[in-house]
Copies of this chain bind each other. A is one copy, B any other.
Amino acid sequence: MKQEPASSTAAPRRRAGRPRSGVLDRELIARAALKLVVEGGYSTLTMSALAKSLSVSPSALYNHVESKQEIMQWIQEIVMDGVDSTVFETLSLDEALTAWAVTYRDIFAGHAPLIPLIAVLPVSGSPRTLEMYEKVAAGFTRAGWRQEDIIPAIVALESFIFGSALDATAPLDIFDPGENAGSIPNFEGALEAQRATGRNSADAAFHAGLRAIVNGLMATSRTT
């Protein structure tokens, strides 16, 4: 925030290069927050718990962070780093999209509370996220897509991925009709048939849907 052009958010810095007295900084806070989340889920991520895990008082955090939301964004950036977008450099577009989507969804299934946040957050705050988009866009371009069709395709895929990540956190018996059984024969039949396959229905849906949307997008790009 002082003289570097890139760092967008409050990073403590002083004239000399060396770190100063403070125990805290952005990296430490972000890592501690992520650790808390990984170990105990998002409900355990409170400012007090975070402060305690850093052996500091809650108010001390506010010298480095604007709000809890900002910490969530930091976590999001770290998590997003786990998404493999190098596949676009080695695989064909449809294969790359599939591989990318799989890691994307798997990772965010463990971070569902971030999803409503990301979906609405300006990407400008996340350089690393932008790099991912660049690689994905490059993949489309290389495959000969019309420029104006690329963003909608990416957004559509992401919407599907986020929705699927949310869905992946649902209980297995989410569709159990309970006392309403009997009045919904078609649905119950379908449910039973799907159960009989032994596959997890969230996974089956994700893979079937991913195949459909990727194939569908490829077909569309040739048609229009």
Q: Interface residues, chain A, CB within 8 Å of chain B?
A: 5-6, 8, 112-113, 115-116, 119-125, 127, 130-131, 133-134, 136-138, 140-141, 146-164, 166-167, 169-171, 173-180, 183-187, 189-194, 196-197, 201-202, 204-217, 219-220
Q: What would 20 more interface pairs be, CB under 8 Å, given A116-B166, A124-B176, A137-B189?
A: A6-B180, A119-B163, A122-B173, A125-B178, A133-B175, A134-B186, A134-B187, A147-B190, A147-B192, A148-B190, A148-B197, A151-B193, A151-B194, A154-B190, A155-B167, A158-B163, A159-B164, A212-B219, A215-B219, A215-B220
- Give the secondary structure class of A's interface: helix
Contact indicator B166/A120 (Cβ below 8 Å): yes
* Minimum CB distance partner of A146 in chain B: B193
Given A176-B124, A177-B130, A216-B215, answer yes or no on A119-B166 (Cβ-Cβ < 8 Å): yes
Q: How far is the CA of A184 from the CA of B173 in the complex (A)?
A: 44
Q: How far is the CA of A162 from the CA of B158 in the complex (A)?
A: 11
7 nearest CB pairs, A to B: A156-B209, A212-B216, A124-B178, A163-B163, A159-B163, A216-B216, A147-B193
16 A–B contacts, CB within 8 A, in A order: A122-B176, A124-B179, A133-B184, A134-B187, A138-B187, A140-B186, A146-B193, A147-B194, A148-B190, A148-B197, A150-B190, A153-B208, A155-B202, A156-B209, A213-B213, A219-B219
Q: How far is the CA of A220 from the CA of B136 in the complex (A)?
A: 25
Contact indicator A201/B137 (Cβ below 8 Å): no
Chain B residues within 8 Å of A185, by CB: 134
In angstroms, how far is the closest chain B Cβ from the Cβ of A185? Answer: 8
In angstroms, how far is the closest chain B Cβ from the Cβ of A154? Answer: 8
* Minimum CB distance partner of A219 in chain B: B215
In angstroms, how far is the closest chain B Cβ from the Cβ of A189? Answer: 6
Chain B residues within 8 Å of A176, by CB: 122-124
